[in-house]
Chain A
């Protein structure tokens, strides 16, 4: 061990990409070109959303708007019940986030901290269901909700969230497994029950995981399309993606309007991402060790 420790001090050379200018330049060129490819359709979407219908036909690849028809956005919000759909989207996003975080953090905590007989087997079941495609249960689930009289309401999009989801249980378990045992001992000495310990000691410390999971869930629920496509028929319960899909087939040629609506759907995801991008990578850990 000492033989290894000593030369480490000598290893003060910088990482390879800092060593010569040529590598750095090549890296930057690759990064810039890649960024252009990734961001260009995006800019094009915004530019197109500001054009007139005739402008779309003539402008091709240009991302310079030339014209600024902000009216397209006004039309996007007024030409169909935008706010109604937005409210449905918000409801089917925020409530499921609360439900998923609650149920998954509880289960994740149990799998990480309350190891009892069969808990290992049960965790293997959780991991196995991660591989199970949702389509196998799609039709019977529809019939289940049909029996509850919940088809064409928002309930099928909200309720399942309160019953956990394997991937997020797994993420929470990994996070809780990293925390020190001493916390639990201290809480037990203080006379905490398990639930109190979870709620007052461990969950606040798992805030990075909660934030990261919430952000991932936001993207997932906000952009969910298959669920609404199955359960929602009537106009009043449509979510934004479903409305946009219907809009695409009805108003197929009004490109600026379609693009404006697309931009409006994307904006909340962008805002949330910019507000919390650091937490996404900080809160996710895949190795359970300390």
Chain B
């Protein structure tokens, strides 16, 4: 337990406060101070500008997020920069080492492997998932009888916890007893070793990820419901058939949502962790996903500095991929507001 709260612990035990609540005390103190500052500022503002109600209410309402943003995002990011420049095992005090962590990372063959595995996973699985989820959503958006049942079935896998999923699929893809090779065997195909084979492990995880397209599909379904029906009516009047309605109405209207799903998909896929953890990196590091390697360094080997440097490398990779996606999609995504603004300028 951390020594800095030792005195609080002693005080609490002398008052008979349950020991489980003790860690909360410094946290609550911090919150009280923060809210006192906000409250005083609001009080001052009200005296100076009696009509500042709306402004005060706004800042009070967003303050939980704002405090969390400072406490859990901005603060940690700033300290992460510093920690990434140190060598630190949590026990002895951090030692400043400059850029040594970064130079080590670039020479670490495991980092190269982790980047390779993770990027390959992202680049292959995200387009596959995006296209599949969209097609599935289009299919499930038709109003045939019994569609609710189908929607439910296709969404079900997304409800299975990541760990349970991985445990399940380790057995589905078990070379000897698994479901997959038994099915393939009935068609006379000799199935590969899947997770046991370094060449097949990553494709197997990608295949597995397609099982959970339900999550993205639900978002597409919500979007499809929002496409104004008068656009379809107008298109039909102009003589557009189903295919042309899809290209000229559905796709442009859905493009912001497709972009949203693709972006969250990219970010999510670069953060893939559970599969690597359960498979312990896979045979020959074939499932050494970046976050798993980061986790391993931080919380198994307690190399906090090195792990922080790795986190920043991941951040740059995610930023770069996001920027490429955003720029690449700028011409393809249709926003109503953007269009009207352009018109006004003309």
Chain A residues within 8 Å of B, Cβ to Cβ? 4, 7-8, 11, 15-17, 24, 27-28, 30-31, 34-35, 38-42, 44-45, 48, 56-57, 60-61, 102-104, 106-107, 109-111, 114-117, 119, 122, 125-126, 129-144, 146-150, 153, 155, 159-160, 162-164, 169, 193-195, 198, 219, 222-223, 225-226, 229-230, 240-242, 244-245, 248-249, 255, 258-259, 261-262, 265-266, 269-270, 273-274, 277, 280-281, 284-287
Contacts and interface: CB of A to CB of B under 8 A. Distances in A.
A233 to B, nearest CB: 9
B61 A198 contact: yes
Interface string B148-180: 001011111111111110011111100011110
Contacts of B223: 286
A266 B160 contact: yes
Contacts of A143: 79, 83, 90, 304
Contacts, number: 304
A169 B68 CA distance: 13
B5 interface: yes
Q: Choose among A16, A17, A110, A198 the residue with the greatest number of B CB atoms under 10 Å from its CB.
A: A110
B161 A230 contact: no
Interface string B211-253: 1001000110111011000000110110001100000000000
B312 interface: yes
Q: Choose among B186, B264, B311 the residue with the greatest number of A CB atoms under 10 Å from its CB.
A: B311
Contact of B163 (A60, A193, A241): A241
Contacts of A274: 152
Interface residue SS majority, chain B: helix
A193 B154 CA distance: 45
B23 A153 contact: yes
A41 B179 contact: yes
A281 B225 contact: yes
Contacts of A48: 171
Q: Choose among A60, A132, A153 the residue with the greatest number of B CB atoms under 10 Å from its CB.
A: A60
Contacts of B157: 38, 41-42
Q: Choose among A61, A126, A277 the residue with the greatest number of B CB atoms under 10 Å from its CB.
A: A61
B235 to A, nearest CB: 11
B195 interface: no
Interface string B241-271: 1100000000000001100100110010011
A122 B185 CA distance: 58
Contacts of B263: 131
Contacts of A41: 157, 168-169, 172, 179, 211
B68 A160 contact: yes
Contacts of A57: 176-177
B65 interface: yes
Contacts of B169: 41
9 contacts: A34-B136, A41-B211, A148-B27, A160-B68, A225-B161, A244-B164, A262-B160, A273-B155, A286-B226
Nearest to A119: B58
Contact of A230 (B83, B153, B164, B295): B295
Q: Choose among A16, A103, A133, A270 the residue with the greatest number of B CB atoms under 10 Å from its CB.
A: A133
A131 B315 CA distance: 10
A44 B160 CA distance: 14
B222 A270 contact: no
Nearest to B55: A116
B57 A110 contact: yes
B298 interface: yes
A104 to B, nearest CB: 8
Interface size class of B (residues with CB under 8 A): 35 or more
Given A38-B154, A142-B298, A241-B164, A164 B172 contact: no
B310 to A, nearest CB: 8
Top-10 shortest CB links A-B: A163-B68, A164-B65, A60-B182, A140-B76, A110-B61, A223-B161, A194-B57, A262-B164, A61-B182, A137-B76
Given A16-B242, A137-B76, A163-B68, A131 B267 contact: yes
Nearest to A3: B237
Interface stretch (B102-110, B121-129, B137-145, B198-206): B137-145
A229 B2 contact: no
A111 B61 CA distance: 9
A265 B171 contact: no
A112 to B, nearest CB: 10
Nearest to A58: B177
A7 B237 contact: yes
A136 B77 contact: yes
Contacts of A130: 264
Contacts of B280: 249
Contacts of A223: 161-163
B299 interface: yes
Given A41-B172, A194-B61, A223-B162, A147 B4 contact: yes
Contacts of A116: 54-55, 58
